[in-house]
A and B are shown apart, each in its own frame.
Chain A
């Protein structure tokens, strides 16, 4: 299978298979197109660069990132006069590797890694319909499987039946949750959850929030308030603010990342719905334009379909054989 072998070398075989299947489209479309593009050509010309631009843009890498990559290649072609397609391949790889790897860690902590705080509080935010509640359900399951005690907080008190939805995940993952009734103050729910976690000596706290468009100032302020209230119970909480992005989102993903960071200092991204479509490129664009690491990727609807994202592996696998 090549592409993702190294990408997920720390995952189990079963996980690997699922992820392979989930990322199949991205792999075959991006690499297949790149290979077809370069094959049979012996030099880099304007037409080839145009095709490369199309390939990167249609993979949702993003216009700015694409132009950056193309510009760099153009520069080198102009300087070196002659560039073979092999060199071009290497250049693209270098460029993408640079974009992907210039942020700190190579791979975020696994679910079984020792946590720096107790309880370790994670707040999950994002626009409507990206899969926040589902991501929390999956995280709860993965943390629990790794031997951690988990507590979830039903902080989406706004959307109809959001609490019920998290409740079902709580049963599936067999992880307890703290809730209040629909329409109550989400900051109070967050506070109660952390308080309960301290009392129960839980390892991980996962706080759900209502989906909100990043353009709604009032709702964004509500998030900052939730965050402030949490730190009253446990200083430094939340230790992680996870922004969930739908992988099929286009250029607006960057705006979402910017605005949420302004309000709540996003520390990591979870990219959902990566299964099934040719959207892997958005990982590259987001990593480049937004200096917050992708931490998780969602590749299906099952409890296990959430993976820790290994960037180094991703780049190696993208071009490795």
Chain B
């Protein structure tokens, strides 16, 4: 059975946590466990060794030896070390002083370049740029069609070179002409999608180097599948030697991969990871923050992203109103419906739950039905406004009508009403507790992992 890195680290750390102090004896076995956990997450062998060596060095210092909670101390050290290895700070794109900014995107076959190019175009558009996509993958069957379809969805133009309906197999020409075209049409960013290539394919590696020579890009991005194994390092090294790229893009992070390749690439080529891409929806692209990735690798959740997404959905005033409603027991089914809408706007349930510290690793095998809310919504929408604010008037006749109206069974309606009642009870209890400052536990929990300035609950 596969265990994620955090599970393994957990058990490795437990052997220390149970003991009073870290000492030379118990640390050797723990480091071995941590190293294997890192290897299981596809962290490169040498990088894993380096990390455990450094962690060991720090962990045997006086400070830790005298600490009363060695397990927590060690977790903090591992977390700090991962954050350091991942690059510390977030690094953005290099933009040209005089537009157009030229961005060259390269990588192995199937790493997700074309999808990323479309996502990046959307991302840049939302920031007020006017991108042009250059279809320089002139080899893979239907690659240009794929780029064009995605570009249509994002609403940006594509530049390609065709002769008599046939793709002209000259990637350098496509890139070169696309830049000139962008200048003419006042597009301020050109994103060049190139063919996937093996790093050992000399002719193809020369081609991408030629594209670089022809258009002198401001930013070269190396796209890598986050599920890549030990070979990620060799690939990245070769591409870096040929292209001296500026940044790395991690794709397919929505699988259950721990993304150990990210650690390795960052260490070996010393280039920052700039974007993390998840999912096939074109807005599933985030800028990369090393501390958040370290939390993910450790299974600590990603509270910052969670809070950020929540903040996008709630303003201060709404939050106050909601709090007041819960306190005064005015929270009704209409409010519940509004909350469901907001939560769904925040992203997929699985993503969200994965961001909650300590919950992510426990929930990873849970198969969440993303449509589960739909039935609940349908039931609430089948109620009259009066029923929504006074659920107690829902008698048998009304329940049957609602079930019919929303295409569910009466027992589903019963269940909803019961769940809503239970939830209200729980919310009331919680609001009383937090009123008395009992939220301390959560704060304490967060403080533990506070590390690199990522504590979302300062003070």
How many residues of A sit at the interface, in one of the four size bands?
35 or more
Contacting pair A250 B252 (CB below 8 A): no
Contacting pair A248 B146 (CB below 8 A): no
Contacting pair A60 B229 (CB below 8 A): yes
| A276 adjacent to chain B (CB < 8 Å) | yes
| B324 adjacent to chain A (CB < 8 Å) | no
| A314 adjacent to chain B (CB < 8 Å) | no
Alpha-carbon gap, A159 to B140, bound state (A):
15
Which chain A residues lie closer than 8 Å to B39 at the CB level? 57, 63
Contacting pair A249 B228 (CB below 8 A): yes
Alpha-carbon gap, A277 to B142, bound state (A):
26
Contacting pair A214 B255 (CB below 8 A): yes
Contacting pair A276 B111 (CB below 8 A): no
Question: Closest approach, in angstroms, between the C-beta of B238 and any C-beta of chain A?
Answer: 10
Which chain A residues lie closer than 8 Å to B261 at the CB level? 250
Contacting pair B370 A218 (CB below 8 A): yes
Report which residue of B198, B231, B371 has the largest number of chain A beta carbons within 10 angstroms of its beta carbon: B231
Contacting pair B145 A279 (CB below 8 A): no
Per-position binary interface string of chain B over residues 184-217, scored 1 when its CB falls under 8 Å from any chain A CB and 0 otherwise: 0000000000000011110000000000000000
Contacting pair B369 A248 (CB below 8 A): no
Which chain A residues lie closer than 8 Å to B252 at the CB level? 127-129, 213
Q: A60-B230, A276-B199, A276-B201 are in contact. Are A127 and B45 (CB under 8 A)?
A: no
Which chain A residues lie closer than 8 Å to B45 at the CB level? 54, 57-58
Contacting pair B108 A248 (CB below 8 A): yes
Contacting pair A250 B141 (CB below 8 A): no
| B330 adjacent to chain A (CB < 8 Å) | no
Question: Closest approach, in angstroms, between the C-beta of B171 and any C-beta of chain A?
Answer: 15
Contacting pair A215 B41 (CB below 8 A): no
Contacting pair A250 B229 (CB below 8 A): yes
| B143 adjacent to chain A (CB < 8 Å) | yes
Which chain A residues lie closer than 8 Å to B150 at the CB level? 160
Which chain A residues lie closer than 8 Å to B199 at the CB level? 276-277
Q: A160-B145, A213-B252 are in contact. Are A279 and B198 (CB under 8 A)?
A: no
- Contact residues, A227-251 vs B (CB, 8 A): 246, 248-251
Contacting pair B142 A161 (CB below 8 A): yes
Point out the residue from B36, B110, B148, B201 that lies within 8 Å of A246, measured CB to CB. B110
| B368 adjacent to chain A (CB < 8 Å) | yes
Contacting pair B143 A251 (CB below 8 A): no
How many residues of B sit at the interface, in one of the four size bands?
35 or more
Contacting pair A273 B198 (CB below 8 A): yes
Which chain B residues lie closer than 8 Å to A278 at the CB level? 231, 234
Alpha-carbon gap, A235 to B415, bound state (A):
41
Contacting pair A63 B36 (CB below 8 A): yes
Q: A217-B367, A279-B231 are in contact. Are A251 and B42 (CB under 8 A)?
A: yes
| A269 adjacent to chain B (CB < 8 Å) | no
Q: A129-B112, A217-B369 are in contact. Are A165 and B141 (CB under 8 A)?
A: yes
Which chain B residues lie closer than 8 Å to A63 at the CB level? 36, 39-40
Q: Name the CB-closest residue of A to B228.
A: A248
| A200 adjacent to chain B (CB < 8 Å) | no
Alpha-carbon gap, A300 to B201, bound state (A):
10
Alpha-carbon gap, A254 to B370, bound state (A):
26
Which chain B residues lie closer than 8 Å to A225 at the CB level? none
Question: Closest approach, in angstroms, between the C-beta of B37 and any C-beta of chain A?
Answer: 9
Alpha-carbon gap, A218 to B372, bound state (A):
12
Point out the residue from B2, B109, B230 that lies within 8 Å of A57, measured CB to CB. B230
Point out the residue from B2, B201, B230 that lies within 8 Å of A58, measured CB to CB. B230
Alpha-carbon gap, A275 to B255, bound state (A):
25
Contacting pair A130 B42 (CB below 8 A): no
Alpha-carbon gap, A119 to B40, bound state (A):
42
Q: A63-B40, A276-B199, A278-B234 are in contact. Are A213 and B255 (CB under 8 A)?
A: yes
Alpha-carbon gap, A218 to B348, bound state (A):
13
Point out the residue from A64, A67, A130 that lies within 8 Å of B110, measured CB to CB. A130
Q: Name the CB-closest residue of B to A213.
A: B255
Point out the residue from B231, B260, B280, B371 that lies within 8 Å of A60, measured CB to CB. B231
Alpha-carbon gap, A131 to B196, bound state (A):
12
| A168 adjacent to chain B (CB < 8 Å) | yes
| A25 adjacent to chain B (CB < 8 Å) | yes
Contacting pair A129 B198 (CB below 8 A): no
Contacting pair A161 B143 (CB below 8 A): yes
- Which residues of chain B have a CB within 8 Å of any CB of chain A? 2, 36, 39-42, 44-45, 108-112, 140-143, 145-146, 148-150, 198-201, 225, 227-232, 234-235, 252, 254-257, 260-261, 280, 350, 367-371
A-B contact pairs, 6 of them (CB 8 A): A58-B44, A60-B230, A162-B142, A215-B254, A217-B368, A276-B201
10 additional contacts, CB 8 Å, given A128-B252, A131-B109, A246-B110?
Answer: A129-B112, A129-B252, A165-B145, A169-B141, A213-B255, A249-B225, A250-B261, A251-B41, A273-B108, A279-B229
Instruction: Name the 10 nearest CB pairs between A and B, nearest first.
Output: A250-B229, A129-B110, A168-B141, A250-B42, A160-B149, A161-B146, A161-B145, A164-B142, A276-B200, A165-B142
